[in-house]
Amino acid sequence: MTIGLSRRGRRLAASPPFPEYILENMARSGAVYDPVENPGGFVPLAVAENLRLGSLLLERMAAVREAPARILAYDTMIGSDEFRARLARFLGRKVLGRAPRPEHVAVLAGAGSVLEILFHCLGDPGDGVLVPTPSYAGFWADLETRDELALVQVPTTSADGFRLTPDRFDRAMRIAGRPVKALLFTSPNNPLGTVYSAAEIEEVLGWARDAGIHVVFDEIYALSVFGERPFTSCAQVAGELGDSVHVVWAFSKDFGASGLRCGVLVSENEELLRAVDGLAYWACCSGHTQHVLGEVIADDAWIDDYVSRVQTVLGDAYRSVTAALEKAGIPYFPAQAGFFLLLDLRRHLAAHSWQAEEDLWRRILEEANVNLTPGSACRNAEPGLLRLCFASVPAETVVVGVRRLADVLSRA
Ligand SMILES: Cc1ncc(COP(=O)(O)O)c(C=O)c1O
């Protein structure tokens, strides 16, 4: 007789919460494109990472020579006092527009852990969380796997410029068929790369206040803005966050450091922070990482220079990929932030269906060895809008990917 797993253990083993495009990415990442060594190699354009400035950050991290002995010991599970104080100052200067109190900052192992634990404390199994779509694909795994929440989509479409209006939120609330506890709003948006105006943020805040639900702003791309419109944090618009507005940020995107696993929650709700602290032990950020990142963000001159370089590099990357797309005649929706844009491949679908989108995605993968993010993963309202991420590989590699993509499309 074998001793089996729990029901939930068996469920996870049978269907891990990772979508197909992520599994393909991992499987193919050992043989990536190289113009000399591997000209037919894999071109990964499906995962949102900015790896263009990695050497700069590594250099600054390497300059942090001394680590105090206390980093070897247990410390506050939601981040050391010193790191949270430094984060409060850094976030105030660069992200939130005003410094939060250090005790209103909690640190965990990446934005994914922050979201998972935060929503565990905001909703009970079966409760609903509103998410505007197109959306970051990972929210479903983050909030449904262990928290057992149900994401309720607030759909927007290309036909109306992906505009979010209060009546769309109202409608989603009406048809949710379950108690809705929160709205999860990504600003700047992934995958659209939209930067929201202060007026739009005010509208979202006002709607959530009137609806009597929490609102979580995922501002993980706050510094990765390359368009005309500057980023505005909800913290700037709201003034006080109060008990129902919460902000998530991480080093994963703006610092191109998703492997360091360092995410941040800013909330003024002290009961919520105590609840988050109760689970933090299982998702801590390492003391060493906190120390090194703390030294980096305390260096104002370096940070100011780094952030301006990030924005320049992303602007260049965006102009390079859009020039290649235009040359190849592939339409896309313009972006102002992030490392991605949505391609409009609707005219290449064999039918107006999700199956046809999957077939096209698979064809591009098999024939061009290029991985895009399927629109279905972003819960798009219409098939055929696939996401292209343009900053995880060098510009020349992205251009090779676009050329190969155009080749497949010319036959689709
Ligand atoms: C909007 C958004 N939130 C959260 C995450 C997850 O970030 P982390 O790697 O810090 O868990 C991502 C990653 O792509 C994202 O795009």
The domain made up of 68-299 has a fold known as: Aspartate Aminotransferase; domain 2 (3.40.640)
Q: Where are the domains of the chain?
A: 7-55+303-411, 68-299
Bridge-based pairing state of the strands 180-186 and 214-218? parallel
Q: Mean pLDDT across the stretch 353-369?
A: 98
Ligand 1 centroid to residue 112 C-alpha, Å:
6
138: Cβ below 6 Å to ligand 1?
yes
Instruction: Please say if the pLDDT value at position 383 is more than 80.
Output: yes
Stretch 13-33: mean pLDDT, rounded? 92
- The per-residue b/e assignment along 346-372, b for 16 or more CB within 10 angstroms, e otherwise, is bebbeeeebebbeebbebbbeebbbbb
Q: Identify the architecture of domain 7-55+303-411 in CATH.
A: Alpha-Beta Complex (3.90)
Which atom of ligand 1 approaches the CA of 186 most closely? 1
Looking at residues 372-393, what average pLDDT do you find?
97
Q: For residue 49, give the nearest of 323, 287, 283, 387 by alpha carbon.
A: 387
Mutate to test the pocket of ligand 1, among 117, 195, 253 (most ligand atoms within 8 A of CB): 253
Q: What is the mean pLDDT of the chain?
A: 97
180-212 residues labelled b (16+ CB within 10 A) or e (exposed) = bbbbbbbbbbbbbbbbbeeebbebbbebbeebe
Q: Which residues contact 140 (CB under 8 A, 6 or more apart)?
A: 17, 151, 379
Q: What is the pLDDT of residue 411?
A: 87
How much is the pLDDT for 239? 87
pLDDT at 18: 85
Distance (Å, whole) CA 368 – CA 318: 21
Tokens 């993968």 label which residue? Answer: 365
From start to end of 200-259, where are the E strands? Answer: 214-218, 245-250
- Please indicate whether residue 218, judged by its CB atom, sits closer than 6 Å to ligand 1: yes
- Report pLDDT for 112: 98
> 25, 117, 131, 220: which to mutate for ligand 1, most atoms within 8 A of CB?
220
DSSP state for residue 285 in the 8-state scheme: P
Which percentage of the chain shows pLDDT scores above 70?
A: 100
- Within this chain, domains 7-55+303-411 and 68-299 share the same CATH topology: no
- pLDDT above 90 (res 253): yes
| 3-state SS class at 125 | coil
- Per-residue pLDDT tens for 394-405? 999 999 999 999
**CB of 220 closer than 6 A to ligand 1?**
yes
Task: Give yes or no for residue 186 CB within 6 A of ligand 1.
Answer: yes
For 61-117, the pLDDT digits (tens) are 999 988 999 999 999 999 999 999 999 999 999 999 999 999 999 999 999 999 999
pLDDT band at 15 (very low <50, low <70, confident <90, very high): confident
User: Which atom of ligand 1 approaches the CA of 112 most closely?
Assistant: 11
Beta strands 263-267 and 245-250, pairing class: antiparallel
Evaluate if residue 1 carries a pLDDT over 70. Answer: no
Find out whether the beta carbon of 372 lies less than 6 Å from any atom of ligand 1: no
CB 187 less than 6 A from any atom of ligand 1: no
Percent of the chain with pLDDT over 90: 96
Is residue 194 lining ligand 1, measured as CB closer than 6 Å? no
How many angstroms does the Cα of residue 22 sit away from the middle of ligand 1?
Answer: 14
> Does ligand 1 have an atom closer than 6 angstroms to the CB of 111?
yes
- The residue contributing the CA closest to ligand 1 atom 14 is 48
Report pLDDT for 336. 98
Taking the C-alpha atoms of residue 80 and residue 86, their distance in angstroms, rounded to an integer, is 10
Q: What are the tokens at 196?
A: 């929201």
Ligand 1 centre to CA of 119 (Å) is: 15
Asked whether 112 lines ligand 1 (CB < 6 A), one says yes
Q: How far is 343 from 387, CA to CA, in rounded Å?
A: 6
| Burial grade of 320 (CB within 10 A; 0-12, 13-18, 19 or more) | middle
Query: Looking up tokens 């949710």, which residue turns up?
Result: 176
pLDDT at 177 > cutoff 80: yes
**In the sheet that 332-333 helps form, which strands lie side by side, from edge to edge?**
332-333, 340-344, 385-389
pLDDT for the residue 17 = 76
- What is the pLDDT at residue 128? 98
Q: What's the gap in Å between 389 CA and the centre of ligand 1?
A: 14
Residue 250 CA, ligand 1 centroid: distance in Å: 8
Q: Which of 18, 22, 136 to mutate to test the pocket of ligand 1 (most atoms within 8 A of CB)?
A: 136
Contact status, residue 172 vs residue 182, Cβ threshold 8 Å: no
For ligand 1, is residue 190 a contact (CB within 6 Å)? yes
